[in-house]
Amino acid sequence: MQGNGFRDRIQDFQSAGVRVIGVSLDSVEDNRAFQQAQGYSFALWSDINRSMSLNFGAVEDANASYARRLTFVIGPDGIVEQAEVTKNISSQADALLQFLDS
């Protein structure tokens, strides 16, 4: 599970001063249950009106049922520092930490 990679290295993200936030089209209730079941200490945001997914390019239109697996790094100034289609779920957290450290 993609989130588990982040969960297992959450302290490294915190030490680097980086917030980790998962985003999906799921309801708040579904994401809360997911968060609790997996023991995620990071945020999960429900993109109810699809404004995030549309503006970040994770869905094609407002009727989409699922968000594409995209990952972004947003700087403290709101500038996009990294944007990628998530390919390797299991090594993603490690790769991001390397990028953040570079």
Partner 1 sequence: MILTFLRRLLQGLPLPLKVGSVCPDFSAVDTHGNSISEQDLKGKRAVLWFYPKADTPG
Q: Count Cβ neighbours within 10 Å for each residue of 12-49 and write b for 16 or more, e otherwise.
A: bbeeeeeebebbbbbeeeebeebbeeeebeeebebbee
Residues in region 34-93 near partner 1 by CB under 8 A? 34-35, 37-38, 43-49, 51-58, 60, 66-86, 89, 92
Q: Does 100 bind partner 1 (CB under 8 A)?
A: yes
Residues in region 15-44 near partner 1 by CB under 8 A? 16-24, 26, 28, 30-35, 37-38, 43-44
Give yes or no for a contact between 92 and 2, defined as CB atoms under 8 angstroms apart: yes
- Write out the residues near partner 1 by the rule CB under 8 A: 1-3, 6, 13, 16-24, 26, 28, 30-35, 37-38, 43-49, 51-58, 60, 66-86, 89, 92, 96, 100
